[in-house]
Structure 1
Amino acid sequence: MSLYLDHLAALQRHAESALERTGFDMLLIASGIEKYAFLDDRPYLFQGNPHFKHWLPLTNHPHSWLAVRPGKKPRVVYYQPDDYWHVPPSAPSGEWVDAVELIVIREPEEAAQALADLVTPRTAIVGEADAALAGLQPNNPEALLNLLHWARGAKSPYELEQMRAAQRRAVPGHNAARAAFLRGESEAGIHRAYLVATGHTDRDLPYTNIVGLNEHAAVLHYQYQDESPPAESRSFLIDAGAQVNGYASDITRTWVAPGHDEFAALVAALEAEQLGLVDEVREGVDYRDIHLSTHRRIARVLRNAGIVNMSDEAMVEEGVTKPFFPHGVGHLLGLQVHDVGGFMASETGGVADKPEGHRYLRLTRPLQAGMVVTIEPGLYFIPTLLRQLRASPQAAQVDWDAVDRLARYGGIRIEDDVACRGAGEAPENLTRDAFAAM
């Protein structure tokens, strides 16, 4: 049996049910189009429609279309231009080819004719507005999208295999990056070592790598990569992933140079709490509770390290953990790094609210078997947030000498990708399994 064909059959069944429930006869999905810089002929990196990639392992195929027809094979309109300026998509190949009705086109406009017999007033068309062609105007019906987005939260066995493979692709890059850090290389040099080890280029990473040395680790989405190494490389944070057939991994590690024992102890303490949070990924658990649990665990780390002299409960209640941990504990992961549907209240829509005062949390749903989530607690020394804490009534309970010593390391984030399993089963830590296999 083929995991991919089983996945395709399950998508077909769910799409047919969703069409019937929302009053549509047909579903057309545009892969997307290339977009160009303003007043220029240089294209941006192509970002395909995740709905298209959900059905087909085609990640760099603009101007293609998928038609889902109840009771029939999907129809794929495959754009393969006769182009001598660029390398066109290769001839269709792979397991998906025999599972679909395939039409190859040479010009984007030919898709309209290839799908004309399927377009009726009751056709749902999912895609960006600028993917429109004559007779193919995306309408993105909300009720249908809600059903599709909700279901995408739980991954099929085929999808889990792609995500395990994405972990195995990323882990050699993380190991190479750590080795480059210990050699004293620059952020740019570390990044290049990561790319070589994963076989990626900047064009096909699932997101832009975060590679921060020393104080740069305190910038949550640090966007630069210095070419020159610092005079002393004390600490290193890398948030970097890989992708396989459109499915992403999202892994963060923090490393410490030898001889920096105080910060190394803080990293070890946070890692112990991170593993405890991973174990909280269980079917039926509200992810918001894991986020709130993270703040209690951060409080324990701060108290045990002597950074804050308050009880764990008081730290959380009075907001003292927030300057040290200002983001959410994680998010859904899959075809998108921040996968869709994280705030949905149910399959018919609505919003599951974030806990009061925690506006950066990206997932508020109860966990289901098959969901893959990130667990990424952090502990940072961010100057602008520390200034606010210094001005607060709780400032007297903070050991500012310790904060000043630790601020030169920037901060810590440790992130694993974790699959929720069935009732009573422990979670599958995709990331740790991949590291252990290397």
Structure 2
Amino acid sequence: MNAVDSPIRQTADTLEALYAAHLAEQQRHTEHALHRGGYDALLIASGVEKFAFLDDRPYVFQPNPHFKLWVPLIRHPDSWLVIRPGHRPRLVYVQPEDYWHVPPEAPSGFWVDHFELIVVRKPEEALPYLQLPGELAIVGEADAALGDIVPNNPPEVLNPLHHARAVKTGYELLRLREASALGAKAHLAAQRAFRDGRSEAAIHAAYLRACGLAERDLPYGNIVALNEHAAVLHYQYQDQRAPAQSLSLLIDAGAHSCGYASDITRTTGNGDTTFQALVDAMEAAQLRLVDRVRAGVDYRDIHLASHREIAGVLRQLGIVRMDEDAMLAQGVTSTFLPHGIGHLLGLQVHDVGGFMAGEDGGTIAKPEGHPYLRLTRVLQPGMVVTIEPGLYFIPMLLDKLRATPAAAQVDWALVKHLGAFGGVRIEDDVACRDAGAPENLTRDAFAALD
């Protein structure tokens, strides 16, 4: 096999082709949005470094998602993109001379040749390259203002861009698969640490080691919940000491690849047969919900189906002795599943545009009685969504259930037993296809490791 035909060369060629097609698609979307809004060019600020109040300590830099849509740069404050119809995109790349911190490396890689690249040393040196004739749509936070270049974030330009961003290009799907691969590898390491009886903090450390990311590089703060902590949906702490007995682990954690996120949740038990029956039932329900990710399906219907699935699990395990219709009519399932079934995924963990009625904006309403759903759109090929049903034993919600007539149909002794485990959530990242079954990025990543 010669060098041209090598797998490495083929992978590089594929990446280059996918990226070129991705940029062409973003150029098309941007020219369309500019034309609709009556603007001549789009300027995108990468963002600026922010500091803690009354302190000189910076927060972790978070780039403008519009910026990293075009370039795989996530640690580059003060830089700018200029997008104009009929022109190659311009990147004003700020590379400061600095001996206090490590400055960004010189631009290099598969993406560089696609840009008119201008390297400057100071943020203010970018200004002459941004001052263009005509009406400018300037996207960024207010603190990104530079001279007379002040972000105006026109909704008539942002709305069509946000609406379009829900459908991923081939390049974006590649990055999302890479992020899933990293996350799956780290999840397995976390499960091993749990079985070794480690603390939440030690499990988190094992996760970081396995995916090779620093904590600042994670797409969101890991949820590492042992035992009853799994009943806190966004549990934000990590105990340094292991509990006397590790009953269960719920870990909701992802990874990044060039700015694209994975978002994966797994729940592991310690061998208790009753809890394992719950995990198994939730696993089967989750896979049935994943299979509903098809083009033309209203995502709200998947969410409503998740409550029927939860009702079935509650009845199957004898937790609630009611039929599914009665549970749904009386809102019993919302005690055990108080959140939405999922959201769009991409450059942001909760990607924008989830409620948009169209490229002019507008809102598609959530189902009545389901205030926490983050996606209400009809699914299209290329959309990537999470499917994350949960069944939890949350004391404050269980107390409310006790005050209803349905309480007489609940096996409270079983609830008490399972409450010590906190709950179960299983989450996969799923891509909608043109036809047939969806692509389960998460399951494929775990299968590759097996």
TM-score in terms of structure 2 length: 0.96
* Alignment equivalent of 1:79, drawn from 94, 98, 108: 94
Distance 1:14 1:342 in 2: 18
- Residue 199 of structure 2 is matched in structure 1 by 186
Residue 344 of structure 1 is matched in structure 2 by: 356
Distance in 2, Cα, partners of 1:17 & 1:327: 36
- Aligned equivalents of 1:428 and 1:7: distance in 2? 20
Q: Is the 8 A contact 1:215 1:410 kept in 2?
A: yes
Q: For 2:190 and 2:138, how far apart are their aligned partners in 1?
A: 43
Q: Quick one: which of 165, 182, 196 aligns to 1:169?
A: 182
Worse-superposed segment, 93-102 or 33-42: 93-102
Q: Deviations over 1:170-211 (max 9, x none)?
A: 111000000000000000000000000000111100000000
DSSP-derived class of the 2:252 partner: strand
In 2, Cα distance between the equivalents of 1:360 and 1:430?
A: 24
> Is the 8 Å Cα contact of residues 29 and 66 (structure 1) preserved in structure 2?
yes
1:238-282: per-residue Cα shift (whole Å, max 9, x none)? Answer: 000000000000000000012x00000000001000000000000
Q: SS of 2:366's equivalent? A: coil
Which residue of the partner structure matches residue 328 of structure 1? 340
Give the SS at the match of 2:160: helix
1:236 corresponds to which of 232, 241, 249: 249
| CA distance in 2 between partners of 1:313 and 1:144 (Å) | 45
1: CA distance, partners of 2:228 / 2:32? 52
Q: 1:139 to 1:302 in 2, by over 3 A?
A: same
Alignment of 1:193-342 (within 5 A): 193-258=206-271, 260-342=272-354
The aligned counterpart of 1:30 is 45
Report the 3-state secondary structure (helix = DSSP H, G, I; strand = E; otherwise coil) of the residue aligned with 2:386.
strand
C-alpha displacement of 1:105: 1.0
- Amino acid aligned to 1:217: A
Match of 2:9 in 1: none
Give the whole-Å Cα distance in 2 for the aligned partners of 1:140 and 1:8: 21
1:203 aligns to what SS in structure 2? helix
Tell me how far 1:159 sits from its aligned partner. 0.3
Unpaired stretches in structure 1, ≥5 consecutive residues: none
SS in 1 for 2:267: strand
Q: Retained in 2: the 8 A contact 1:119–1:135?
A: no
Secondary structure of 1:138's counterpart equals: coil
Runs of 4+ with deviation above 6 angstroms: none
Taking the aligned partners of 1:347 and 1:279, their CA distance within structure 2 comes to: 28
Q: What value does the CA root-mean-square deviation take over the aligned residues?
A: 0.7
Is 1:91 matched with 2:106?
A: yes
User: Within 1, Cα distance between the matches of 2:149 and 2:378?
Assistant: 37
Residue correspondence of structure 1 range 392-431 to structure 2 within 5 A: 392-422=404-434, 424-431=435-442
Q: Structure 2: where are the runs of 5+ without partners?
A: 1-12
The residue that corresponds to 1:356 in the other structure is 368
Residue identity over aligned pairs, in percent, reads 66
Of 104, 107, 115 in structure 1, the residue corresponding to residue 130 of structure 2 is: 115
Superposed CA deviations along residues 102-131 of structure 1, whole A, max 9, x for unmatched, are 111111111112222x253x1100000110
Distance in 2, matches of 1:10 and 1:394, equals 53
Which residue number in structure 2 is paired with residue 65 of structure 1? 80
Paired AA for residue 207 in structure 1: Y
**Residue 97 of structure 1, CA deviation:** 1.1
What are the Cα deviations for residues 291-347 of structure 1, in whole angstroms up to 9, with x where unaligned? Answer: 000000000000010010111011011100001000000000000000000010111
1:381 paired residue number: 393
Pick aligned residue for 1:4 from 5, 19, 35: 19
Where 1:291 maps in the other structure, the secondary structure is helix
Deviations 1:381-403 (A, max 9, x none): 00010000011121111111110
How far is the alpha carbon of 1:9 from its aligned partner?
A: 1.0
Aligned residues of 1:119 and 1:136 also touching (Cα < 8 A)? no
**For 1:40-51, what aligned pairs fall within 5 Å after superposition?**
40-51=55-66
Partners of 1:76 and 1:103 within 8 A in 2: yes
Spell out the pairing of 1:104-183 with structure 2 (5 A cutoff): 104-116=119-131, 118-120=132-134, 122-183=135-196
Q: Distance in 2 between matches of 1:429 and 1:342?
A: 20
CA distance in structure 1 between the aligned counterparts of 2:110 and 2:193, rounded to whole angstroms: 39
CA distance in 1, matches of 2:151, 2:372: 31
- Alignment TM-score, normalising by the size of structure 1: 0.98
